[in-house]
Amino acid sequence: MTLLTDRYKRSIDYLRVSITDHCNLHCIYCMPLGGAPKLEHKEILSYEEFLRIIQVALKMGISKVRLTGGEPLVRRGVSDFCRRLAKLPGLKSLSLTTNGVLLEELASELHGAGIRRINISLDTLQRQKFLRITRRDEFDRVWRGIQEAERVGFDPVKINVVVMRGINDDEVLELARLTLNYPYHIRFIEFMKINSDDDWVDQHYVSADEILAKLSTVAPLEQVVYQNTNGPARHFVWPDAVGMIGIISPISHHFCPTCNRIRLTADGKLRSCLFSDQELDIKSHIRQGATDAGLAQILKDSIANKPEKHSIQSDLFRKCQSRPMVAIGG
Ligand code: SAM
Ligand code: SF4
């Protein structure tokens, strides 16, 4: 197996796979009001097609796969798919990002199927605010899903919080205080502009430094090294905490120089940068009978075209036009 590197000498070993663009929530930062256009069934890769592409990627040097969506748990048969995926040679880490709505039912199955790492999105501890952010009244189910994930053995349970000024920034401390009583990782993520209204994002963006300053008013934060991760989070703990705080700052401290990932969308497009609309179509090749070598070449081309960095802070930045976040998967 070769080590995959791009032209900026970054090792690429991580594939994020969006298995559906459908979702049972409609978060204000991810999905346009009124919903995003949904892919038809025939446009979405079948599980067989996903397995084939992932198998080729694993032979080339990818070793970590994260399933995402839309909401991955709304796709029927997801646990069986995970079971088959987990058995593929070369796969060292299989993880999932979910909104948690269906986790109470599925956590045990998913754990049994070989998923060991799980990230659950939860931006508020208040039911009414949850309804405002996600446009669905599902707070209680998500909270029960989080506890079920812990009960069946996911360790750590990671909770993703997108921080938005005037919406949930007043809850940063309360959310972080969960780490005093629960062994969770609470990960604060800077709000990103992906196919959303510029003014709206600018108005609600909160920087990682501001979040850290707020957290430091409670008790000194100690930065710790947490190895067991695929991503760009910086980790901190409060004294006596049983959990950990993560900070993910794609906007203020961009981590492009160490970016190790590419993405596969539900409709079979390889996307080498979250913020770039450059995509390569792998679905049409697989459906026209491409060989494994042919598919490997498309993966290589995608990695070769991976942009050096995003420029979302610059005035020249033009937000991604083609897809809302729900159709990329984060
Ligand atoms: N439905 C699943 C979920 O919500 O966890 C998986 C897909 S979701 C697109 C993946 C992650 O992207 C979530 O943690 C979500 O909070 C995050 N996300 C979505 N839109 C975002 C934005 N505009 N800025 C920052 N994070 C965002
Ligand atoms: Fe759905 Fe996740 Fe996007 Fe929310 S963040 S709309 S749960 S895909």
Residue 319 in this model has a pLDDT that exceeds 80: no
Atom of ligand 1 nearest to the CA of 71: 1
d(CA 262, CA 57): 11
- Note the pLDDT of residue 162: 97
Residue ranges per structural domain of the chain: 14-158+257-327
Residues with CB under 6 A from ligand 2: 23, 25-27, 30-31, 69-71, 99, 121, 325-326
CA-nearest residue for atom 8, ligand 2, is 70
In this structure, what are the phi and psi dihedrals at residue 285, rounded to the nearest 5 degrees? -65, -45
Residue 3 in this model has a pLDDT that exceeds 80: no
d(CA 18, CA 79): 15
- The rounded Å distance from CA 162 to ligand 2 centre is 11
User: 10 Å Cβ neighbour count for 170?
Assistant: 13
Atom of ligand 1 nearest to the CA of 250: 25
Q: How confident is the model at residue 195 (pLDDT cuts 50, 70, 90)?
A: low
Atom of ligand 1 nearest to the CA of 201: 23
For 55-69, 168-182, 231-245, 300-314, which range has the lowest pLDDT when averaged over its residues? 300-314
d(CA 19, CA 69): 6
Q: How confident is the model at residue 320 (pLDDT cuts 50, 70, 90)?
A: low
- The rounded Å distance from CA 25 to ligand 2 centre is 6
* pTM, full prediction: 0.94
Burial (CB count <10 Å: 0-12, 13-18, 19+), residue 79: middle
Judge if the beta carbon of residue 99 lies within 6 A of ligand 1: yes
Judge if the beta carbon of residue 330 lies within 6 A of ligand 1: yes
Residue 240 in this model has a pLDDT that exceeds 70: yes
- The rounded Å distance from CA 289 to ligand 2 centre is 33
Q: Which of the listed CATH numbers 3.20.20.70, 3.40.50.300, 3.30.2350.10, 3.60.40.10 matches domain 14-158+257-327? A: 3.20.20.70
Tens-digit pLDDT profile for residues 89-142: 999 999 999 999 999 999 999 999 999 999 999 999 999 999 999 999 999 999
Residue 315 in this model has a pLDDT that exceeds 80: no
Tens-digit pLDDT profile for residues 50-97: 999 999 999 999 999 999 999 999 999 999 999 999 999 999 999 999
Judge if the beta carbon of residue 58 lies within 6 A of ligand 1: no
- Note the pLDDT of residue 317: 40
CA-nearest residue for atom 18, ligand 1, is 330
Judge if the beta carbon of residue 123 lies within 6 A of ligand 1: no
- Note the pLDDT of residue 184: 97
Judge if the beta carbon of residue 146 lies within 6 A of ligand 1: no
Tens-digit pLDDT profile for residues 205-219: 999 999 999 999 999
- Note the pLDDT of residue 197: 63
Q: Which of 187, 189, 249 to mutate to test the pocket of ligand 1 (most atoms within 8 A of CB)?
A: 189
d(CA 29, CA 32): 8
Judge if the beta carbon of residue 212 lies within 6 A of ligand 1: no
Tens-digit pLDDT profile for residues 264-282: 999 999 998 888 888 999 9
CA-nearest residue for atom 4, ligand 2, is 27
Atom of ligand 2 nearest to the CA of 70: 8
